[in-house]
Structure 1
């Protein structure tokens, strides 16, 4: 049985705790958490600690904290030459302290408190400072996911940027659409079949092949009507910028 300690209590830490709890190959021996209440329902109270000095021996220590805290947290670990990984998409492996052997265990997914995910379908991007540690990282990954990828820090940075476009920016477009619907007394539910079909087409076809709408048709009459309708300056600016990007990308790469 592989012994794991998790440092952190946020969304990623919570989902990892739940994923590992379903595995017969891995056990979480401790969770070091500032916010004890956030994970109180996920793991036995005896396994939750708040003092670095209480960390016991484990095969792998997973730092699942905010990006700007990773380096500082890794420096506080009270041991040397253990295997320590972080879960960030944008922070390089080198940010971890040199006191320990380094790695990255990055789940490429969006995590929201209270929203369960199927970890077996989530891509896990793995990176290890030393080849001899990579086998352990693979075994831990296989314990919860069927999709493992060897991804270096530079590739992971690109993945994270791409993921922001796919997830964060797309979701913001949904928020703008929801606001427009609400302002005009329309339920956003009417948009849900369109939202689902758009995502399914992007998965079935390439995103470029799935593109439709007035921008790619260069339907300037409709575009001008939409711009006249939008009263919020920032919404107009976003509409114009994305319209230009779609038209510039029509048949070419961004």
Structure 2
């Protein structure tokens, strides 16, 4: 059984904790964090510590904190023999100070209070030592059937891609909701369209699935849309995205 310590009490730490407590081959021996109130939410199944000077021995130490705090937290583990792994998509192995370093990055968006099924979530692992990589693979396989060895440079680009397909699209959803509400319409009217857009790329590439006025260079519709927008940032975004789509498909127009 793999013994692990989770360092952090935020959103990702809670989701990982919930997943690992269900894994038969994993024992969460301790959760460490400075926020005592948040730390108490982990008390049912594990021992707790808000003092980084008293961290239990374990096979793997998972650092699930904000990116800018990872290096600082890892310094508390310099004397530990286990693997010290962060959970960030944007940072490389060098963010970890101890020699036995690794990464265990779940590629998913996590929302407070919303349960996710870890079994299908891609988990990206990396380590400098072959034995450590296999240990991380075993740990990741205990909660997911979708585990991949991805190096730091690949993971950084993957994280960037995730920002485009998740964070940016969600912002576009928020604009769509705002435009609906301006007319007293329910955003629910757009949800079947959103679902179909996501479903289509399961069967074809996003470029092949592209539709809309910019794709067919329908300037009349685009000009009409621009007149309906009130915010400068929305107008700029509409123009920028429309131009990018036109350029991507200009050979087909």
Residue equivalent to 1:204: 203
- Size of the aligned set, in residue pairs, is 251
Assess if the C-alpha contact under 8 Å between 1:82 and 1:100 holds in 2: no
Alignment of 1:80-229 (within 5 A): 80-97=80-97, 99-229=98-228
Match of 2:242 in 1: 243
Match of 2:8 in 1: 8
Decide whether aligned partners of structure 1 residues 41 and 219 sit closer, same or farther in structure 2, where only a CA change above 3 A counts. Answer: same
Name the structure 2 match of 1:69.
Answer: 69
1:159-214 CA deviation, whole Å, 9 max, x = no partner?
Answer: 00000001000000000101111111111111111111111112221101111000
Query: In the TM superposition, what is the alpha-carbon distance from 1:31 to its structure 2 partner?
Result: 0.5
TM-score, normalising length: structure 2: 0.95
Deviation at 1:82, TM superposition (A): 2.8
The runs of 5 or more residues in structure 2 that have no matched partner are none
Trace 1:51-70 onto structure 2 (pairs within 5 A): 51-70=51-70
**Does the 8 Å CA contact 2:32/2:52 hold for their aligned counterparts?**
yes
Runs of at least 5 residues in structure 1 that lack an aligned partner in the other structure: none
SS in 2 for 1:54: coil
Structure 2 CA distance for aligned equivalents of residues 150 and 251 of structure 1: 37
